[in-house]
A and B are shown apart, each in its own frame.
Chain A
Amino acid sequence: MTLFAPETQVRPVEPTRAVRYVLPLGIGIAATGIVGWVGPVGPLWGILVGLVTFGVFFWADITKHWIDAVILVVAGILGLSFFDWVLAARTGPVDFKLSLIAAIGWLIYGAATGFVVYRHRPGYRAGIIGFQALAWGGGATLALFTATTMGVLAPLNVRQIDAGEIQALTIGLFVVTGLAASGIGLGANVSFATRLPSLFAGGLVLVLTVMAYNEIQFSTAAIATQLTRVGEIVDDFWPPVWKWPKSVGQPETFNIVQPFIETFQIAIVGATIGNIFALPLAFYASRMTAPSNLAYRIAKGLLNVTRTIPDLVWGILFATAVGFGNPFAGALAMIMFSLTIMAKLLSETVDAIDIGPLEAGRASGATHTQVIQYAAFPQVRPNYVAYALYIFELNIRASVVIGFVGAGGIGRLLNERRNFFQWDQVMAIVIVIFVSVLLIEWLSIWARRKLV
């Protein structure tokens, strides 16, 4: 069967897909790392890295001109010799400052790669050179700093290791730095040249994952071993113990009840006050209802900053301010926690209200507050109620753990029992937390469904 089409139709060229560049890019990144094995011979390393980059550029159709090979090799010799020299001449540990200085070498090299892309891809501004320099330099700094402060190469910073070990670690350092710098840098080069941002994102994700996996000492072996001794661990925790003496010599009592109630009280106070105080802030943080542009910017900025502070950090701050072990600190923390979430959710809802009634209110001579209260708030009232319930649920979850930082509630008890290694008592507390969080979640979902 043939489907016929009139001859006048033009078939467009299929747009280039990112997949096409994955292989050359992957080989290039791997090669840049591997040539680090040549060891601390900066100029030689520079030549090899320059040639590898040119190879990738050649394969990805960015350039086929020999001049570019020369540019890359020369920049590689300059940049990587500098890198090598900084590391060899160091007297102290590889700290953040030294990492930054050493990465200047990669910065120089990155600028050269940017220049090559700039030469061959019309439409770009010279700023791309700086961008490329930052990508290569940033990758190198990241690798250098994390690998030497907390990762596998950390022994480099210890004085009492022999020369052979230093030699081996330094080679490792070159390999890691090469991988990270080219992972982000080459990714950015090809990404710019082909206008496929996913290549840059892919390189960044790859480098971050590898670094993170190394630096936090992620170990599947540990998981496997621990899984084989699940029985022992369960023995520690099971069966849960519900009663224990408050202090030595006293009778056993249910000690969970009182802190549990306290947790609820903290959540209630936090949610109630936070939800009320969030109202003015939410209306100020929406362009629709802000009294002025300045007020809008201040409220929005305040919200953006306070939103970055996690619930437990609020807890630490208030516990420090008003006294450790004080549930009042927990309540204050929950107020701030609720306030920031509610204000954000509500202000985004207010952004979408109908502006007509507001104009009607203003036209009748009402004050700004009156307009907000009578024309804007009724429009978002159902959302407000739903958010308030949701925030109450979040508050219960958060106030469970807030006691860990000395802000009252069941978390304080959990932390205390944990410090005594009473795992069976910890289990009892965890079960209580688990059940109450589940119950509150179901209740909140049920109530919100009822409301709609």
Chain B
Amino acid sequence: MTVPDLTPDEKMEQFRPQEPLGPRIIRWVVGIAIVVPFIWAVIGLEISPERIWRAPSEIWVLLSGMFPPDFDDSGRIVAKLLESIYIAWIGTMMGAVFSFPLSFMAATNVAPRWMTIPTRAFLSAIRAFPELILAVILIVPFGLGPFTGALAIGLHSIGTLGKLSSEVIEGVDDGPIEAIRSAGGTLPLQMRYGIIPQAMPTIVAYWLYRFEINIRASAVLGLVGAGGIGADIVARLHFRADWPKAGAALLATIGVVLVIDAVSSSIRRRIITGQPSTSMLSKGMIAITGAGRPPSTELGA
């Protein structure tokens, strides 16, 4: 050891503390709280080393069966994908339209307690049902089809969007509201000029974000007969001969979701920051059309 002995008097002054036990105990408790349930779950699911060992080759069989994908019935894939998009779109619209007033009713800085508490309970109740379960229930009155899927997604979106939007409303700066109140503004005026200008960009961004999530949800609703591409993917996976077609449907879904994600997130960034988007997409568009350049003659000027 090259850190040499210290001079004696220095050594006398220094006091080496004991390593505290608290963090160690917490570490052990957390470790046990993770490891024990994990082992219980692994045993319960009968996951054996042999199964794990076999899984990669089984997955490889499936993957190699799906590729190269077979795009023969691309017309049907496009139709079903469009249906998924439409389901997600209507679902998001429903969610946005109905959650908007509800979010004000759930915000503690706008609504009185007797209103916020039941509204919140309602929102978290409908949020607790996954879309698929909602679809299963809604199929009973509304029958099979994309309409049911849109309703299921819409209902669930009301729950999630209502919660997120009410949090945004609660987070706005009080100053402008106070200013309006002191100028004699009523509650509707406070909302219109004090809250909405502050909260709206974030809320709209949440709508778009929800649309991205709903696209994924609507892609699987077909499983229970509620429209969209999901039913096709499942049906084609049942028979080995159809795997290349399943691969095509899967690839198309991934592609569409990627594109929608990219567009939506670049719009969201623009809404939130107020800055022109710097995504590849918008850069490309500006480069092609010249739309980003300042006009040499301003309209009406």
Contacts and interface: CB of A to CB of B under 8 A. Distances in A.
Interface of A: 13, 16, 61, 95-97, 121-125, 127-128, 130-131, 142, 145-146, 149-150, 192, 194-195, 201, 208-209, 211-213, 215-219, 222-223, 226, 229, 233, 236-237, 261-262, 264-266, 268-269, 272, 304-305, 307-313, 316-318, 320-322, 327-328, 331-332, 397-398, 400-401, 404-405, 408, 411, 414-415, 418, 423, 426, 430, 433-434, 437-438, 441
Instruction: Give the secondary structure class of A's interface.
Output: helix
Interface stretch (B9-17, B101-109, B213-221): B213-221
B39 to A, nearest CB: 10
17 contacts: A122-B295, A127-B290, A145-B79, A146-B86, A195-B291, A209-B93, A212-B93, A215-B82, A216-B87, A216-B150, A236-B140, A237-B137, A268-B37, A313-B230, A397-B130, A401-B133, A405-B223
Given A145-B82, A149-B79, A308-B216, A123 B147 contact: no
A216 B78 contact: no
Chain A CB within 10 Å, residue with most, of B86, B124, B257? B86
Q: Which 6 A-B residue pairs are closest in the complex by CB-CB distance?
A: A127-B288, A212-B86, A265-B41, A216-B146, A308-B257, A125-B290
Given A145-B79, A310-B220, A430 B137 contact: yes
Contacts of B161: none
Instruction: Give the secondary structure class of B's interface.
Output: helix
A216 B59 CA distance: 35
Contact of B51 (A195, A216, A229, A328): A328
Nearest to B259: A308
Nearest to B260: A308
Given A96-B79, A272-B34, 10 more contacts: A96-B74, A122-B295, A128-B289, A194-B299, A201-B267, A268-B41, A321-B59, A398-B130, A414-B133, A418-B224
Given A265-B41, A404-B223, A414-B136, A217 B291 contact: no
Contacts, number: 223
Contacts of A272: 34, 38
B167 to A, nearest CB: 12
B62 interface: yes
B233 A209 contact: no
Given A145-B82, A233-B141, A441-B124, A316 B233 contact: yes
Contact of B233 (A213, A313, A426): A313
A304 B258 contact: yes
Interface string B231-255: 0011001000000000000100110
B193 interface: no
A122 to B, nearest CB: 5
Contact of A208 (B89, B133, B216, B298): B89
A127 B287 CA distance: 8
Nearest to A264: B41
B76 to A, nearest CB: 9
A184 B244 CA distance: 35
Contacts of A130: 288
Contacts of B272: none
A437 B124 CA distance: 10
B90 A150 contact: no
B253 A308 contact: yes
